[in-house]
Amino acid sequence: MDFVAVFLVGLLLFHLSAIAQSYQNVSLGSSLTTSDVTTFWPSPSGFQRIGNGSGFLLAIWFNNITEKTIVWSANRNSLAPDGSKVQLSTNGRLVLTDPNGREMWARPTAIAELAYGAMLDNGNFVLATSSSATAWQSFNKPTDTILPGQVLNLDSSLVSSFSDTNSSIGRFKFILQTDGNLVLYKVNYPAVDVTDAYWVTSSVGSGYQVIFNQSGYIFLQDKNGTLLNLISSNVENLTSQSMYHRAILEYDGVFRHYVYPKSSSGRRMEWSTLYNVPEKYPYAIAQDRGGGALWFHDLCSMGTDRRQDVIVHSDIS
Ligand SMILES: *[C@@H]1O[C@H](CO)[C@@H](O)[C@H](O)[C@H]1NC(C)=O
Ligand SMILES: *[C@@H]1O[C@H](CO)[C@@H](O)[C@H](O)[C@H]1NC(C)=O
Ligand SMILES: *[C@@H]1O[C@H](CO)[C@@H](O)[C@H](O)[C@H]1NC(C)=O
Ligand SMILES: *[C@@H]1O[C@H](CO)[C@@H](O)[C@H](O)[C@H]1NC(C)=O
Ligand SMILES: *[C@@H]1O[C@H](CO)[C@@H](O)[C@H](O)[C@H]1NC(C)=O
Ligand SMILES: *[C@@H]1O[C@H](CO)[C@@H](O)[C@H](O)[C@H]1NC(C)=O
């Protein structure tokens, strides 16, 4: 029997206050805890961190819009229990600890000469030294999303989430390989090795950086800055002055470039797809049917983007 997937109860609940505060540094020693979700480290216009649900995800999301859209998370594979805490320690690390004080996640991995942390307005959380050199930044460790101003260097990748409501690593990978080729792969879940490539730029030897620029174009360029492959062309010219932009490798294996108007001015306020890669829907993902098992079913050439009504074959086992 086929049925249309319905997403179960959302996993993550978020603190919903939309607060525009001025940019401020996060000083060493400051912390956030799960028991006080009204505390966060804000950027001037849109990002804050920490969440709540059946566990806590230390995350950065767009704060100035109704949907608390996550763009980055620290502990995507193991949610932090209630009573956890994230602290910018006095010895120079950003540390997430569980209620027993056990370290769950920390960056940088080694002690650095940190002076402060800052949630920047482009969505990048940076840890900086006293000379303002960046010791660590979330933009260099993307999860499944990139934002304007962000660059993927060789050997950087995006890994999709497991499902719409589960941010654990999923079944697809978008990687700029060390050989310069930019590839979308199916991951041999639950193992992490990649299997089939379903989209490639064939840029071995020349691909160097994937850039998401402020005009909302996403492209692959070579070392000399020559454009090799336009991944998302912003034909509508929706700049990051007027629109929030994000590009995400979603759980269904499609890399989508979304925009959201910064001011309503008559538009419907929701994320809309500007571009998706590949253009043909590569796979259909079956949803959790309650027993915990998730089934994966290949359906080639399903046609154009059909994320809203993913067809699930409930009789595959
Ligand atoms: C953040 O701290 C750095 C280093 O102390 C300083 O240069 C910068 O002006 C501070 N920024 C803000 C907004 O306080
Ligand atoms: C937040 O969004 C509103 C429109 O919904 C806009 O008027 C306001 O300037 C935004 N705030 C910031 C800090 O960008
Ligand atoms: C956080 O999550 C817990 C467990 O789901 C819930 O009991 C609590 O009310 C939540 N807190 C807030 C502020 O949403
Ligand atoms: C998310 O999915 C993974 C993989 O099946 C599973 O191990 C994990 O328990 C799920 N997390 C939640 C909170 O359901
Ligand atoms: C972004 O890239 C596009 C395509 O290469 C280019 O036309 C545009 O000028 C770039 N914008 C910025 C701000 O660099
Ligand atoms: C970069 O430019 C130099 C000089 O113009 C040229 O020799 C080289 O082949 C170029 N490299 C790439 C990867 O395009």
Query: The domain spanning residue 163 has which CATH number?
Result: 2.90.10.10
297: in domain: no
Please give the residue range of the domain that contains residue 216.
142-280
Q: Do 217 and 171 reside in the same domain of the chain?
A: yes
- pTM: predicted TM-score of the whole model, two decimal places: 0.78
267: in domain: yes
Q: Is the CB of 13 under 6 A from ligand 3?
A: yes
Q: Do 123 and 181 reside in the same domain of the chain?
A: no
User: Can you tell me the mean pLDDT for 42-58?
Assistant: 53
At residue 237, what is the residue type?
Answer: N
Q: Do 17 and 91 reside in the same domain of the chain?
A: yes
308: in domain: no
Q: Do 96 and 14 reside in the same domain of the chain?
A: yes
Cα separation of 46 and 65, whole Å?
8
Q: Name residue, tokens 């994230």.
A: 86
| Domain termination residue (choose one: 140, 169, 200) | 140
pLDDT score, position 60: 83
Mean pLDDT of the chain: 74
11: in domain: yes
Contact 249, 158 (CB under 8 A): yes
Tell me, in angstroms, the distance from the centre of ligand 6 to residue 224's CA. Answer: 6
Q: Which atom of ligand 4 is nearest to the CA of 79?
A: 13
Give nearest CA residue, ligand 2 atom 7: 263
The total domain count for the chain is 2
316: in domain: no
Q: Do 107 and 136 reside in the same domain of the chain?
A: yes
Question: Between β-strands 194-200 and 209-212, what pairing exists: parallel, antiparallel or unpaired?
Answer: unpaired
293: in domain: no
Q: Name residue, tokens 């654990």.
A: 168
Q: Is the CB of 297 under 6 A from ligand 6?
A: no
How sure is the predictor about 250, in pLDDT bands with cuts at 50, 70 and 90?
very high
* Residues 120-159 pLDDT 10s: 878 888 888 888 888 899 999 999 999 999 999 999 999 9
pLDDT score, position 257: 95
48: in domain: yes
Q: Do 199 and 230 reside in the same domain of the chain?
A: yes
Query: Which numbered ligand comes closest to the C-alpha of 243?
Result: 2
Q: Do 130 and 157 reside in the same domain of the chain?
A: no
Select from 162, 170, 219 the least CA-distant residue to 194: 170
Contact 146, 258 (CB under 8 A): no
